[in-house]
């Protein structure tokens, strides 16, 4: 009986995950972590490079289709058709790269570079670092606030430093969830096609989703992205909570208790479990209403334990960068553990 269960488990493991992909994702993660820290985000945007491509190619078309005066049902249908069009385009791009990687002798190098296009990590930390210096040293150099505003698609013109700090803290969590964990999980399951398809939907949500307050057009996009992003969001939240034990003044137990609460939790579109875990671990209030770059009011909920302060400063931002970095290291360690287990015990 035990041998049968073991055989079934090993068969399922080998079916779901190609072990040869694990070193590729580990190298790609290290590249986007440390390489991103050393360069200025492209166009001031710390999100994945493929998100840039989607915005450049399809952003104007989507904005032309998103007409607020139209009926909601019509907008939902338009959003769905638009999403399918972008998905098909992305599928052919990813399929072409995957086939080219198989033909080229050094296929793993192509896979690593291509996977990096769907990811982000260090660039978001670099943007947070610029914001930290601006807040702590009052050194508002060019681009200090712009990178966070551009990456979160938020209008800072009427925002105070507390709001900007909260958004800067959330930026790293979104990058970890949608720019690290999700593309890696989908790559492990389905290769480059899985990673690119998720990146395309995440980019559309970033452009048109407006944290779940997008109306009809973005409603279809949010629903499709959630289908692929729901499980990675849970995984990201667990790693952020675990990182609490390695972060000074943070609390892992507090984070896990926060994940089980019904109040003070972030909806999926507003950040989900990673934002919730971080807010409780650091005993801070995150979220809060903002305004998008395209002029829409975003009535975000307040996330965090009862009585936690929302008047956040550079020290809170520093703690968030630390817990996020620890979550990255734990995720890398988990990938390494999977590789070791697969090589020596399967």
More confident residue, 140 or 49: 49
Residue 3 is predicted with a pLDDT of: 53
| Residues forming beta bridges with residue 292, ordered by sequence position | 154
224-232-289 Cα angle (round to 5): 70
131-171-327 Cα angle (round to 5): 105
More confident residue, 158 or 281: 281
What would the pLDDT profile of 232-277 be if each residue is shown by its tens digit?
999 999 999 999 999 988 888 899 988 998 888 899 999 999 999 9
Directed axis angle between helix 21-30 and helix 182-204, to 10°? 60
Longest distance between any two alpha carbons in the chain, whole Å: 66
What would the pLDDT profile of 99-132 be if each residue is shown by its tens digit?
887 787 677 888 999 999 999 999 999 999 989 9
Q: What gap in Å lies between CA 177 and CA 121, rounded to an integer?
A: 10
- Parse the chain into domains and list their residue ranges: 10-345
306 burial level (CB within 10 Å; 0-12, 13-18, 19+)? exposed
| CB distance 75 to 67 below 8 Å | yes
What would the pLDDT profile of 287-297 be if each residue is shown by its tens digit?
988 888 887 88
172-175-177 Cα angle (round to 5): 110
């Amino acid at each position: 009986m035990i041998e049968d269960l073991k055989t079934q488990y090993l068969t399922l493991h080998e079916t779901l995950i190609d072990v040869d992909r694990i070193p590729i994702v580990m190298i790609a993660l290290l590249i986007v972590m440390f390489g991103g820290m050393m360069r200025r985000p492209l166009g001031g945007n710390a999100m994945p490079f493929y998100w840039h491509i989607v915005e450049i190619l399809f952003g104007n078309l989507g904005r032309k289709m998103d007409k607020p005066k139209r009926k909601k049902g019509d907008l939902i249908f338009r959003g769905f058709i638009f999403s399918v069009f972008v998905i098909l385009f992305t599928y052919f791009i990813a399929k072409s790269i995957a086939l080219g990687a198989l033909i080229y002798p050094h296929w793993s190098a192509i896979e690593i570079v291509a996977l990096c296009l769907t990811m982000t990590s260090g660039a978001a930390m670099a943007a947070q670092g610029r914001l930290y210096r601006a807040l702590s040293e009052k050194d508002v150099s060019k681009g200090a606030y712009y990178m966070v505003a551009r990456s979160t698609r938020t209008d800072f013109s009427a925002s105070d430093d507390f709001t900007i700090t909260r958004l800067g803290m959330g930026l790293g969590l979104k990058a970890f969830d949608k720019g690290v964990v999700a593309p890696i999980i989908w790559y492990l399951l389905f290769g480059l096609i899985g990673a690119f398809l998720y990146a395309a939907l995440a980019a559309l949500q970033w452009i048109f989703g407006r944290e779940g307050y997008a109306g009809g057009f973005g409603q279809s996009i949010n629903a499709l992205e959630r289908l692929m992003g729901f499980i990675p969001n849970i995984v990201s939240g667990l790693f952020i909570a675990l990182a609490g034990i390695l972060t000074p003044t943070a609390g892992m137990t507090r984070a896990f208790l926060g994940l089980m609460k019904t109040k003070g939790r972030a909806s999926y579109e507003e950040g989900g479990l990673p934002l919730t875990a971080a807010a409780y671990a650091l005993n801070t209030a995150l979220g809060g209403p903002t305004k998008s770059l395209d002029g829409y009011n975003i009535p975000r909920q307040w996330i965090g334990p009862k009585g936690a302060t929302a008047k956040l400063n550079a020290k809170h931002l520093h703690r968030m960068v630390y817990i996020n970095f620890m979550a990255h290291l734990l995720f890398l360690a988990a990938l390494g553990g999977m590789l070791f287990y697969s090589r020596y015990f399967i």
